[in-house]
Chains A and B, each alone.
Chain A
Amino acid sequence: MSEIILSVKDLQVNYGGIEAVKGISFDVPKGEIVTLIGANGAGKSTTLKSVVGLVKPKSGSIQFNRKELIGMDTTAIVSKGITLVPEGRRVFPDLTVLENIKIGAYLRNDDLSGDIAWVYDLFPRLKEREWQLAGTLSGGEQQMLAVARALMSRPKVIMMDEPSLGLAPLIVKGIFDIIKEINKQGVTVLLIEQNANMALKIADYAYVLETGRITLSGSGAELLSNDEVKKAYLGK
C-alpha cells in the first residue's frame, strides 16, 4: 500500500445532539479512491464535514500528511489541499458558472486561466454555459459544476458527498467516469455513497459504516462479492 495521505483515528463526533460518529478509524492512501458506504444516518456526511472542519469532533484525530487537522478552521484546511464537494451540490445559484468556478479558487492568489481551461476540458458542457446562472443548470450539470469548483482549489484530496444523489443513471455513470479521470490525474478521492454498487466498482478500498461504526472493510471487489454487503446494500 502506498503512503497514507489522510488518516482518521477513533473519531467521535456529536452532531445535532446525537452521537453521529462513534469512534471510527480509516486510512486513505495517496492516489487511490477510497469509499465509505452506508445507509442514511450512518455518519458518513458528518465524517467528511469533520475532516474539512465544518463540524467540530468530540475526540479522536484526523491527520493529513501526518499533520493534525482537528482544531484548524476550514480556511486553513482547504488551503492545505483538502476540499469537499458538499451533499446536494450546493452551487451558488445566483452566480454564473464562471463565477462559481472562480469561487472554488478563492484561497489562491496565482493565475487561474490554466486551471479554468483544465476544468472546462474535463467538463466541456460547463464551457458552453459559462455565462449562465448556476441555478438554471440541470441537476447533472450542477454536480459537474460542484466538482469543477472543488477542483479549482487544486486539492490533493477531494471528498465527495453523495455525488449520485438524485441523478439519472446515465448521468451518474458520467460523473463516476469523471471521478476516475480526476483520480488518474493524481487527485486522491474519498467518496461517500449510498449507491454502493457504483462506488464499490471504482473504489480501490472501501469501508462500510453502520450507525456511527465501521463494520466491514476491504477492497472494492471484495466487498462487492461479500454476502452481507450484497444483502444490505446491493439488493441482491
Chain B
Amino acid sequence: MIRNNEKRKETILGIFLLLLLLAVMTFIDAKLPSYHIAIKVIKKASVYALVAVSMNLLNGFTGLFSLGQAGFMLLGAYTYAVLSIPVGKRAGVYQYFDGGWIQFSIPEFFSEHLGETFGLNMGIIIALLLGGLVAAFFAYLIGLPVLRLKSDYLAIATLGFAEILRAFFQWKKLGPLTNGSNLLKSYPDFGSATGYIVLIGIFIALIVLLVNSTYGRAFKAIRDDEIAAEAMGINLAKHKRMAFIISSFFAGIGGGMLAMYMGTLQALSFKSTMTYEILLVVVMGGIGSITGSVITSFLYIASMEWLLRGLDSGTFLGINAPGLFKNGFRMAVVSLIIMVVVLFFSKGIMGDREFSVKGLIRLFGGKKAKENAGGDGNV
C-alpha cells in the first residue's frame, strides 16, 4: 500500500514536470522569434535526442554495433521532403528534371481537406511516419544478410550501406525523384519548437515502453549473452531484426525532422560524420541510458551551436581575445571536454542508469526518501 502511494506520488510529480516543461516550451515559442538561436537549438537537439535514443536501442540495449544511422536518416529525410513539397513549387525545385515524377503533396492534400493548420500538421506527421516506414523497410532488406555479422563486421557493413545510399541518391537517373545532387526545399515545417518537442517526446516515450516490455528484456538478454538468451528460447534472428527495424524506423523519422529543421535537403549532408556525432552523444550519455542520450543531445547541441560559438568568433564569456578565439578553437575545446568526460565518466554521464522522478525526490527530499531507497538501479 505504501509502495502504491509512493508510485502514485511519483507519477503525479512526473506528469507535473512534463506539463511544466511543455508550458515553458510554449512560453519560449511565444516570446522568441523563430530564428532565435534558442529555438534552433531546441529543435535540433530534440531531433538528435530521437536519433540518439534510436541508436541506443540498437547499440546499447540489443548490443548490435551498427553505424548505418545516417543512411536511415537519409531515407526518412528524402521520403519526407519528396512527399511534402507543395505541387505548385515542384517545377521550381525540380527545375532540371521537369518538375519531377511525383505530383502530389501529402501535407497540402490534408490541409485542403482537414483545415489549414490541423490538416497541414497531420500531413507533416503522416509524411514523417512514411519516412520512418521506408527506412524500416530498407532495414528489413539489408538486415537479412548483415545481421548475421557480429560486432565490428556489422558496423562496417552498415556504414558501407549508408555511404552507398548517399551516393545512390545523388545519381542523375534518379533525379526526377531525388533531384540528384541538387537541393530539395520549400517543404513545410511545424514552425514552432513545441511541435518538435511534443512529437519527439511521444516517440521517445514509445521507445521507453518498448525497452521496458518483454521484448525489451529479450533485447537486453541478447546483449548480455547470446547463447544463454537462445537457450531461454529467444529467437535471436527474429529479435535482432526487430530491434534493427524499429531503430531504423525512428532514425528515419528523425531524418525527416532534421530535414524539416534544416529547411533544405541534400544527400551530401548525411555523411558518416553524422553517425559518429550521434554515436558520440550515445556514448557520452551512457550506452543503455535513454535519459542519458536525451540530456547529452541537448548539452551537446547547445554547446556546439550556441554556448561555445564565441570561441570561434572572438568573444567568449565576455573575454575578448580575437587572437586565441578564432576559427577552429571551438572544436579544440569540444575535443578537450569530450576527453575529460570520457576520463571521469568512463561509462558516460548516466552510465546505464536512468534519470527518474524517484531519483529527484531522493536528491531533494533528503532523509525520508533515503529510507525508501530500494536501490533499483535508478539515480
Q: Interface on A for B, CB 8 Å cutoff?
A: 52, 54, 73-75, 77-79, 83-84, 86, 90-96, 99, 102-104, 106-107, 131-133, 149, 153
- Given known A-B contacts A94-B223, A94-B224, A103 and B288 have beta carbons under 8 A apart: no
B250 → chain A closest CB, angstroms: 23
**Chain A residues closer than 8 Å to B268, beta-carbon distance:** none
Are A106 and B232 within 8 A (Cβ)?
Answer: yes
CA of A137 to CA of B313, assembled, Å: 54
**Chain B residues closer than 8 Å to A94, beta-carbon distance:** 220, 223-224, 288, 352
- Given known A-B contacts A94-B288, A95-B224, A102-B217, A78 and B375 have beta carbons under 8 A apart: no
25 A–B contacts, CB within 8 A, in A order: A52-B231, A75-B233, A77-B233, A84-B231, A86-B228, A86-B231, A90-B225, A90-B227, A90-B228, A92-B224, A94-B223, A94-B352, A95-B224, A99-B220, A102-B214, A103-B217, A106-B217, A106-B233, A107-B232, A131-B374, A131-B375, A131-B377, A132-B375, A149-B232, A153-B233
CA of A90 to CA of B230, assembled, Å: 11
CA of A95 to CA of B374, assembled, Å: 16
**Chain B residues closer than 8 Å to A153, beta-carbon distance:** 232-233
**Chain A residues closer than 8 Å to B235, beta-carbon distance:** 73-75
CA of A96 to CA of B377, assembled, Å: 9
Are A54 and B231 within 8 A (Cβ)?
Answer: yes
Interface centre among A77, A92, A104, A149 (most CB of B within 10 A): A92
**Chain A residues closer than 8 Å to B230, beta-carbon distance:** 54, 74
Does B371 belong to the interface (CB within 8 Å)? no
B242 → chain A closest CB, angstroms: 14
Does B234 belong to the interface (CB within 8 Å)? yes
Question: Which of chain B's residues has its CB closest to A92's CB?
Answer: B224
**Chain B residues closer than 8 Å to A84, beta-carbon distance:** 231
Given contacts A86-B228, A131-B377, 17 further A-B contacts (CB under 8 A): A54-B231, A74-B235, A90-B227, A91-B225, A92-B221, A92-B225, A93-B225, A94-B223, A99-B217, A102-B217, A103-B221, A103-B229, A106-B218, A106-B221, A106-B232, A131-B376, A133-B377
A165 → chain B closest CB, angstroms: 15
**Chain A residues closer than 8 Å to B352, beta-carbon distance:** 94
- Given known A-B contacts A86-B228, A90-B227, A94-B224, A106 and B234 have beta carbons under 8 A apart: yes
**Chain A residues closer than 8 Å to B231, beta-carbon distance:** 52, 54, 74, 78, 83-84, 86, 90
**Chain B residues closer than 8 Å to A91, beta-carbon distance:** 225, 228
Q: Across chains A and B, which 10 residue pairs bring their CB atoms closest together, nearest first?
A: A78-B233, A92-B224, A90-B228, A107-B233, A75-B233, A131-B376, A75-B235, A84-B231, A103-B221, A92-B221
Interface centre among A96, A103, A107 (most CB of B within 10 A): A103
State which of B220, B227, B375, B376 has its C-beta within 8 Å of the C-beta of A95: B220
CA of A102 to CA of B231, assembled, Å: 14
CA of A95 to CA of B221, assembled, Å: 8
Q: Which chain B residues in 200-236 approach chain A with CB under 8 Å? A: 214, 217-218, 220-221, 223-225, 227-235
Q: Which chain B residues in 166-215 approach chain A with CB under 8 Å? A: 214
Question: Which of chain B's residues has its CB closest to A76's CB?
Answer: B233
CA of A93 to CA of B225, assembled, Å: 9
- Given known A-B contacts A78-B233, A94-B288, A106-B232, A54 and B227 have beta carbons under 8 A apart: yes
**Chain B residues closer than 8 Å to A77, beta-carbon distance:** 233
Interface centre among A90, A102, A149 (most CB of B within 10 A): A90
**Chain A residues closer than 8 Å to B223, beta-carbon distance:** 94
Question: Which of chain B's residues has its CB closest to A104's CB?
Answer: B232
Question: Which of chain A's residues has its CB closest to B233's CB?
Answer: A78
Are B214 and A106 within 8 A (Cβ)?
Answer: yes
CA of A104 to CA of B223, assembled, Å: 16
Interface centre among B217, B227, B229, B233 (most CB of A within 10 A): B233
B225 → chain A closest CB, angstroms: 5
**Chain A residues closer than 8 Å to B214, beta-carbon distance:** 102, 106
A107 → chain B closest CB, angstroms: 5
A17 → chain B closest CB, angstroms: 19
Are A74 and B224 within 8 A (Cβ)?
Answer: no
CA of A138 to CA of B330, assembled, Å: 48
Question: Which of chain B's residues has its CB closest to A80's CB?
Answer: B233
**Chain A residues closer than 8 Å to B374, beta-carbon distance:** 131
CA of A77 to CA of B235, assembled, Å: 12
State which of A52, A103, A131 has its C-beta within 8 Å of the C-beta of B218: A103
A143 → chain B closest CB, angstroms: 13
CA of A73 to CA of B234, assembled, Å: 10
**Chain A residues closer than 8 Å to B221, beta-carbon distance:** 92, 95, 103, 106
Q: Which chain B residues in 322-379 approach chain A with CB under 8 Å? A: 352, 374-377
A21 → chain B closest CB, angstroms: 18
Question: Which of chain B's residues has its CB closest to A89's CB?
Answer: B228
